[in-house]
Amino acid sequence: MNHLRRFLGLLAGSAFALLALTTTAPAALATLPPPDPGGTPVVPPPAVHTVVIGGMPGWQITLIAIAAALFTAAAAVFLDRAWATHRAAPRTTA
């Protein structure tokens, strides 16, 4: 059973890696078209500038990062203690 679970995990991981590759490859391999053989240069499209109105202040970003770090640390401690308790529990046989 363990071999089947390991194989299915490997298969799922490979499928997600292939999905990530197929979605990111077109953007990574995008290039400008070659120049026109007639001698007229190809003019790239104008750059698009994003207009930012407002935005999130730096103190809010810092607060979110600190809260996420504290939550992750608390979850790690909780899971470690639960795992240690589960490992140390005496096993009774009937």
Instruction: Give the model confidence (pLDDT) of 9-54 as tens digits.
Output: 899 999 989 888 888 777 777 777 776 677 666 677 778 777 777 7
Give dist(CA 59, CA 84) in Å, integer. Answer: 37
| pLDDT above 90 (res 70) | yes
Phi-psi region of 43 (alpha: psi -120 to 50; beta: other; left: phi over 0): beta
CA nearest 31: which of 16, 20, 18, 42? 42
Confidence category of residue 66, pLDDT binned at 50, 70, 90? very high
More confident residue, 62 or 24: 62
CB atoms within 10 A of CB 91: 4
